[in-house]
Chain A
Amino acid sequence: MNPALLLAFALLPFSSGSAQEVTQTSGQRPPLAADTGAAKAAPELARLDQVLTLAQESKDQGRLTPERYQEFLAQFRVSLDNARAAAPPSPAAEALYARILARLGDSQQAMVALAPARQRDPQDPDLRVALGHVRFEEKDYPAAYAEAEAVLKLDPANKAALALKYFSQGRIAGTAAATTRLPPPGLEEVSVLDDPRVAEAGRRALAHQTALGLTDEAMRRLKIKDPREALRYLSMAGAIDPELPNVPMQQGLAYADLKQHAAAVERFTQAESMWRARETPRTDQLAGLAQTMREREAANLLQAQASAQSPASQPKKPATPLPYDAVGLVLIAVGVGTFLVLEKRRDEAAIREAVEVYGPAGLVVAGGALVAMTMLPPARVAGPSLRAATVLARETELIQATAAGIGAGTILMASKQDGKASNSADPTSSNSPSGTQGGTSQGEPDRDRLLKKAQDPELRDAIDKLYRKNAKIGSGSTMDGYRYESQTGTRLSKSGHGQKLVERRDQLMRVLHKPDLSPGDRQITKDILIDIQNALSGL
């Protein structure tokens, strides 16, 4: 922050007219000059003091609603604690911290903060002025005046003490000093601005400048991927200058980083309308941002709807050890029942009969037995053949045979829930609702499946370019390739596949808007666009 601006701010109350006017203006407090020891020792705390001043003025003037002010205070306190922790310990820093606490209404806490430092050096001017500020906030103006006078006896040029003295004088009713218009000693070099409109314009300009500084800090936090801290700075900036469009724009960026898309869209839209109201609107940039977020939100909604409608495209869930699916329960029951029958009859013919009678369920039971063979110690010796399985089924205990049936049912349910259970370690597994997850349950590659269905020549061209033959990574799609690059950090081309996705996305958007596109082609196009957008979004 420009020291000249800080000094100008410090002197504004004096320039706004007589001390009489000062007493009539509610909410004004002694400012903190830039060249005090406190401001130099803890510049961040000094800046927060200034931020608080501007925010409280905004609240007093009605430019900040009480709710927004409370929101600002919540963020401000976190920043205050951080700044205090970061400041090197010194009487000046403690004094400043106490002053801010007092201004927040925490006089008791302010006194606690001052106590250790005052014990060590009770005459330190910064600490005495801070104590004076605490008394001022407690409306004990004579005590505040007394502290200021004590400091000025030793250091007549102490600007902070001077400010405190005159503000306190102004509040003490019936004193002769309250009506004097003489400029305070030591400040004659500052021109007196009598017009309150000029002072107000100066305060607004300073508020704007301070808010811009805070948005710069927020942008730095966004660049280092700390959106929460960025939001704290932006909350302060918005409190000081509610009309600054940078604030909602950067809030939109922060919410986008936090994947809160609805909030991001709201902020971008707000920034867009604020910019439109200005003389030099940047509507194209912000309209583009808002549109991008709307598209992203719409794509997410479409995906959620498609996922809800298409059970086969549910996102991967971990395999559950307990059978909840009805089909699995039936198969397990069949498995148990079959083996109960076999337990009684114990011959190979019974196995074959079970397969003939139960059909696929019987095959599942047999498959379960094969699985059991690979898991149970005796089975490993028997060898993977149906005959061996029947021998095993005949010779195993009932509980092991039942386990085979349960195993078959569980495996069926796990593969139903997982989709690609065998690909669970594949970082490129995509969650496209079109079922582009490395092929259908029949194992057909996505490229072939989509090319069979798509009719439109431009769509077919896009599919041809987006899905490679002989897939090596994931489904062979550019989207899975991009996911691989993002997740592993290994590029599959010189600069990665992001640019290809962006260009193909534009191509497909044009395809989507073709009036003669069939419903089937439209759905395929949407599904691929969702997959592209998900990949670009890191999903």
Chain B
Amino acid sequence: MTNFKLIPDRSREIILGALRQNAPEFFNTDEYLRLAKLDPKLAEYPGLVCGAFTSFLCAKLEREEDVRKYFEIIEGWAATKDSYIENYLITEVFENVNLPTLGEERFKGNLRPISLQLYKHWMEYPPEDRLSSH
């Protein structure tokens, strides 16, 4: 056991912290409140919050509203290079994009460089072609 180095999981504080600081209105949306109503503890799960945030963001995109600051938040998450947070970005944000009228290209077009690179690597290449290092 002494050979293992534990990497602390800071995803909860980073993900929720960024939202509280830069998008406090998200915490009054139906998407977030549905989670909290089901169980307040669920509203602290980074993955579930990311999923709710994605639904919120896609709804804003569909309504053609200004979404730049939300994509800055996503860029900030990607820039941490934290493996937990990157995993949440892939599994709960990128994979949950649902834009029936605009299409996923609209979402991809709004991504900043670091998050765009993450998106392209995990969402666009077939698994067998993906390089193991990212």
Contact = CB atoms under 8 A, between A and B. Distances in A.
Contact of B91 (A493, A506, A511): A493
Contact of A494 (B34, B39, B42, B87): B87
Nearest to B126: A472
Interface residues of A, number: 27
B34 A500 contact: no
A5 B76 CA distance: 58
A464 B45 contact: no
B109 interface: no
B55 A461 contact: yes
A465 B87 contact: no
B39 A465 contact: no
B55 A506 contact: no
Interface in A481-500: 484, 488, 490-497, 499-500
B26 interface: no
A468 interface: yes
B104 to A, nearest CB: 9
B119 to A, nearest CB: 12
Contact of A495 (B35, B55, B83, B96): B83
Contacts of A491: 127
A461 B45 CA distance: 15
Contacts of A510: 38-39, 42
B134 interface: yes
Interface string B29-61: 001001100110010010110010001000000
A464 B39 contact: no
Nearest to A478: B91
A494 B38 contact: no
A443 interface: no
A458 interface: yes
Interface string B74-87: 00000000011011
Contact of B92 (A457, A484, A500, A511): A500
A469 interface: yes
A397 B39 CA distance: 71
A5 B41 CA distance: 50
Contact of B87 (A457, A458, A495, A514): A495
A468 B95 contact: yes
Nearest to A497: B91
Nearest to B37: A458
A304 B6 CA distance: 39
B98 interface: yes
B116 interface: no
B128 interface: yes
Contacts of A70: none
Contact of A503 (B47, B55, B122): B47
B127 A492 contact: yes
Nearest to A503: B47
Contacts of B88: 499
Nearest to A457: B34
Given A458-B34, A499-B47, A506-B42, A494 B86 contact: yes
Interface in B105-134: 122, 127-128, 130, 134
Given A499-B47, A500-B47, A461 B86 contact: no
Nearest to A511: B38
A468 B123 CA distance: 12
B34 A464 contact: no
Contacts of A457: 34
Contact of B122 (A465, A484, A494): A494
A495 B47 contact: no
Interface in A450-492: 457-458, 461, 464-465, 468-469, 478, 484, 488, 490-492
B8 to A, nearest CB: 15
B18 interface: no
Interface centre among B31, B35, B51, B88 (most CB of A within 10 A): B51
A215 to B, nearest CB: 15
B90 interface: yes
A494 B48 contact: no
Contact of B128 (A461, A490, A503, A506): A490
Nearest to B84: A495
A484 B128 CA distance: 12
Contacts of A496: 87
Contact of B127 (A490, A499, A507): A490
B98 A507 contact: no
Contact of A465 (B51, B90, B128, B130): B51
Contacts of B83: 494-495
Interface centre among B48, B83, B84, B128 (most CB of A within 10 A): B48
Interface of B: 31, 34-35, 38-39, 42, 45, 47-48, 51, 55, 83-84, 86-88, 90-92, 95-96, 98, 122, 127-128, 130, 134
29 contacts: A457-B34, A461-B34, A461-B51, A464-B55, A464-B96, A465-B96, A488-B127, A490-B130, A492-B122, A493-B90, A493-B95, A494-B86, A494-B90, A495-B84, A495-B87, A497-B91, A499-B87, A499-B88, A499-B91, A500-B47, A500-B91, A503-B47, A506-B42, A507-B35, A507-B42, A510-B38, A510-B39, A510-B42, A511-B38
Which 8 residue pairs across A and B have the least CB separation, nearest first?
A493-B90, A494-B87, A503-B47, A495-B87, A500-B91, A494-B86, A490-B127, A510-B38
Given A492-B127, A497-B91, 19 more contacts: A457-B34, A465-B96, A469-B98, A478-B91, A492-B122, A493-B95, A493-B122, A494-B83, A494-B90, A495-B83, A496-B87, A499-B47, A499-B84, A500-B91, A503-B45, A503-B48, A507-B38, A510-B42, A514-B38
